[in-house]
Structure 1
Amino acid sequence: MPTLQIGRKEIPYELRRSAAATERRITVTPGHVEVLALTSDKDDDIAGFLTRKRQWVFNTVREMERITASRHAVPRFMTGSKIPYRGRKMPLTVRRTDADLITTTYRNGFIVDLPHWAWNELDRVVATELKLWMRRRVRRDVKEVATTYGTRFGLVPRSIRVAEFPNGWGSCGPEGNILVNWHLIFAPKQVLDYVVIHELAHLRHRSHREEFWTFLRSISPDFERPKAWLEANQGTLTSDFLIVV
């Protein structure tokens, strides 16, 4: 593993080249430094970049070491925290980056890259970013399910929107406007799909009479399994863990 020599301190780092990268970047997590380079970069390009960033790397690594040494004072949203998502608890990695903007990605867990200006309010910033990412993901998923079933079964709502509301998981208004609770992001994906399909079925049958359930079963034969999961676990689907006081 290559190392960066800063005074008497030797900092090992992982060099990763990416064809998708448009700029060089450094991310720091406890015990690990990653340098992202362009595939076209020569060794001298990378060396020059690291020389320009050497003080930032030194200060950031030292700050990470301080945080790790005083873990009792570490905020809730830190590397190693578990975030509820899709019915599971997924790991969170919070990295300090030399970029100017916050980025949130998901690769078998959440990765939040924070610039220096966001680090002083880590809990609040990470909670806000996770909530925004999850709401965007729910909107995308809901749209995909609605499009699929609208095409296959002619169930086209006037509008479909994701929001937060205290009671219920979805609704279909008399004019065909569908509302879905974004907290379903904390349930398995098939539960979210069930709620969307359930509300779409109300475009054909408004009440919960037998013909509604018969129609729902005809377009979603396995709906009873996610329905039972939701009834048993709905009390656990909350975003309270994202509230920072």
Structure 2
Amino acid sequence: MPTIQIGRAEIAYDLRRSDCATERRITVTPGHVEVMALASDNDDDIAGFLDRKRQWLFNTMRDMERIAASRHAVPRFMTGSKIPYRGRNMPLTVRRTDAERANITYRNGFIVDLPHWTGGDPDQLVASELRHWLKQRARRDVLDIAADLGKRFGLVPRSIRVADLAHGWGSCGPEGNVLINWHLIFAPRKVLEYVVAHELAHLRHRSHGAEFWGYVATLLPAWEGAKAWLDAHQAILAAEFLAR
């Protein structure tokens, strides 16, 4: 494994070359440093890049060691935390990079790459980035579910969007404007499908009478199991992310 000498410290790193990369990148996680180089880079290119990043790498390694030494428990939004997502608690990995912006990827867990300017306690930034990512994913899922139901059953709301709702999981206004609570991204997908189907059913039946529930069953035959899950978990689901 190659190393770089910074003062008295000798830092080992994994070197990876990428045919797709358009810029070089250093990623730092607890106990591990990875350098991503361009496929065309030679040894001098890599050495020059590391020399330019020498001070940043030293400061980042020092900050991570200081944070690890001062923490007696896993922070809320640091490597080792669990983030609820579609009914499961998925692992979180937080990495330091030399990038200008934070970035989130999802591969059987959340990976948050922090920008170089992040301070010593990144909880707030990680939480903000995750919240934005989850809201966007909730919006995409809701639109996909609504589009499928609309295509099959001719249900076209005037508008549909996700939002923070103080009460309830969804609503359908008299003019056909549908709102869905983004916190449903923490529940299994079948639960989100149920809430979207429930609100779209109000385009045909405003009240919760027998005709309404019969129509919900037409839209989503397995709605009862999803509703039961939501009824059983709604007290903790609403605060699942905010309490972390």
SS of alignment partner, residue 99 of structure 1: coil
Whether the 8 Å CA contact 2:25–2:99 is kept in 1: the answer is yes
Shift of 1:188: 1.1
Deviation per residue, 1:121-157 (Å, 9 max, x gap): 5121111111111111111111111111111111110
Partner of residue 115, structure 1? 115
CA distance in 2, matches of 1:20, 1:222: 44
Shift of 1:169: 0.4
Partner of residue 85, structure 1? 85
TM-score (norm 2): 0.91
Q: Are 2:185 and 1:185 aligned? A: yes
Deviation per residue, 1:80-118 (Å, 9 max, x gap): 111222122111111111111111222222222222322
Whether the 8 Å CA contact 1:127–1:242 is kept in 2: the answer is no
SS of alignment partner, residue 116 of structure 1: coil
Letter of the 1:50 partner, please give it: L
Letter of the 1:78 partner, please give it: M
Deviation per residue, 1:157-188 (Å, 9 max, x gap): 00001111121101111111100001111111
Percent identity (aligned)? 70
Bigger mean CA deviation after superposition, 18-27 or 186-195: 18-27
Partner of residue 39, structure 1? 39
SS of alignment partner, residue 155 of structure 2: coil
Whether the 8 Å CA contact 1:19–1:38 is kept in 2: the answer is yes
Shift of 1:230: 0.4
Matches within 5 A, 1:82-231: 82-231=82-231
CA distance in 2, matches of 1:3, 1:147: 53
CA distance in 2, matches of 1:20, 1:119: 30
How many aligned residue pairs are there?
Answer: 244
Whether the 8 Å CA contact 2:6–2:54 is kept in 1: the answer is yes
Letter of the 1:208 partner, please give it: H
User: Gapped runs of 5+ residues in structure 1?
Assistant: none
CA 43–153 in structure 1, closer or farther in 2 if over 3 Å, else same = farther
Q: Are 2:1 and 1:23 aligned? A: no
Whether the 8 Å CA contact 2:26–2:98 is kept in 1: the answer is yes
Deviation per residue, 1:15-51 (Å, 9 max, x gap): 2233332211111111011112233333332222112
CA 150–87 in structure 1, closer or farther in 2 if over 3 Å, else same = same
CA 17–196 in structure 1, closer or farther in 2 if over 3 Å, else same = farther
Matches within 5 A, 1:57-68: 57-68=57-68
Whether the 8 Å CA contact 1:138–1:162 is kept in 2: the answer is yes
Letter of the 1:173 partner, please give it: G
Letter of the 1:179 partner, please give it: L
CA 243–227 in structure 1, closer or farther in 2 if over 3 Å, else same = closer
CA distance in 1, matches of 2:7, 2:120: 27
CA 18–242 in structure 1, closer or farther in 2 if over 3 Å, else same = farther
CA distance in 2, matches of 1:211, 1:127: 43
CA distance in 1, matches of 2:64, 2:70: 10
SS of alignment partner, residue 111 of structure 1: strand
User: Gapped runs of 5+ residues in structure 2?
Assistant: none
Whether the 8 Å CA contact 1:172–1:203 is kept in 2: the answer is yes
Whether the 8 Å CA contact 2:67–2:120 is kept in 1: the answer is no
Letter of the 2:203 partner, please give it: L
